[in-house]
Amino acid sequence: MPSRSLSQLDRALRGLRSLVLSGEYVGGQRLSEVAMAAQLGLSRTPLRQAMDRLVAEGLLERIETGGCRVASFTKDDISDAIEMRGVIEGTAARLAAERGVDAALLAQAGAILDRIDQALAAPDGLDFDRYVTQNAAFHDLLAKFPNSPIVAREIQRMSLLPLASPSAFLSDQAMIPDFQESLRYAQRQHRAILEAVTAGEGARAEALTREHARLALINFNHLNKSRPMLTRNVPGLALVASD
C-alpha cells in the first residue's frame, strides 16, 4: 500500500509550513497554538512538534517568554543562504571528484542532463515542467555523489531555508529577463560540473558549483526589483523584509 495514512505530525508540518511561507502570519506576532491547532484541525501536541521542527529549520523563531513567531529574513540573509548552499554543494562536488563516484550514479546524472537538453529543445522552445523536475533531480543526485550522509544532510538542510533551494526561483520565470538564456547557461554549468567530477578535478568542480548557485542570487535580485506584486506568489518571499 503506497499511500500510508498521514500522521497528525505530517499534517501539522505541511499545514504550518505552508501557512508560514504564505506570509499570512508575518509581523513578529506570536502564533497562538490553540488558534493554529484549531485552524489545522488537530491538537496542540503534534502542532507543537511541528513548531519545534520549523524552529530548527529556521522558519520560526522562539520568543524568550514563550511560544514562537515567524522568522524574518533580510536580503543579506537570503544571499548568505544561497552562498552557503553553493559552498556545501560545492564541497559535495569536490569530494566526489576527489574520491570518485560510482559509475551508475554518473550515468544517471548524464541521463538527467540529457533530459534537460530535451526540455530546452522542446517544440515550443522550452518544456518548463520537465526542466524543473530534472534540475531538482540533478541537484539531489549531486548531493549523493560523495556517498556521505553528513554532506547529504547538510545540503538538504540548506535547501529548506526559504529561497535557498535549487528550485526556489524556477516557479517565477515570467519576471526574470532572458530567463531561457539563463536556463541554458545553467545547463552548461551542469555539464561542466559533471565533467569536472568525472575527471577528478576537485577544485574546478567546487568552483563551478559555487558559481552555479549564484544564479539563484541573480534571480533573487531580479525578483526584488518587481517585488510588491510577487510577494504573494513566491512562497517565502513574504518573510524577507523589504527594508
Partner DNA sequence: TTTTGTAATATTGTATACAATTCTGGATTG
Partner DNA sequence: CAATCCAGAATTGTATACAATATTACAAAA
Q: Which residues bind its own copies (CB under 8 A)?
A: 48-49, 52-53, 56, 58, 76-77, 80-81, 83-84, 87-88, 91, 95, 146, 148-151, 153-154, 157-158, 161
Q: Is 83 helix (H, G, I), strand (E, B) or coil?
A: helix
List C-alpha distances in Å: 4 to 1, 12, 50: 7, 16, 19
Strand 68-70 with 60-62, pairing: antiparallel
The dihedral of CA 207, 210, 215, 220: what is its sign?
A: negative
Looking at residue 238, the DSSP 8-state letter turns out to be G
Contact 39/78 with Cβ under 8 angstroms? no
User: Judged by CB under 7 A, does residue 39 bind DNA?
Assistant: no
Give residues 66-85 in contact with DNA (rule: CB under 7 A): 66-67
Q: By CB under 7 A, name the one of 43, 173, 182, 224 that touches DNA.
A: 43
The dihedral of CA 237, 221, 132, 159: what is its sign?
A: negative
Rounded CA-CA distance 186/198 in Å is 18
The nearer residue to its own copies, 76 or 124, going by C-beta atoms, is 76
From DNA, its own copies, none, interface partner of 81 (C-beta below 5 to 8 A by class): its own copies
Q: Which of these ranges, 24-32, 96-104, 106-114, 203-211, lies near DNA under the rule CB under 7 A?
A: 24-32
User: Judged by CB under 7 A, does residue 198 bind DNA?
Assistant: no
The nearer residue to DNA, 9 or 230, going by C-beta atoms, is 9
User: Judged by CB under 7 A, does residue 230 bind DNA?
Assistant: no
User: Judged by CB under 7 A, does residue 45 bind DNA?
Assistant: yes
User: Judged by CB under 7 A, does residue 53 bind DNA?
Assistant: no
Q: Which phi and psi (to 5°) does residue 6 adopt?
A: -65, 145
Contacts of 29 (CB under 8 A, 6+ apart): 69
The nearer residue to DNA, 45 or 221, going by C-beta atoms, is 45
What is the contact surface with DNA in residues (CB under 7 A)?
A: 5, 7-9, 30-34, 42-46, 48-49, 63, 65-67
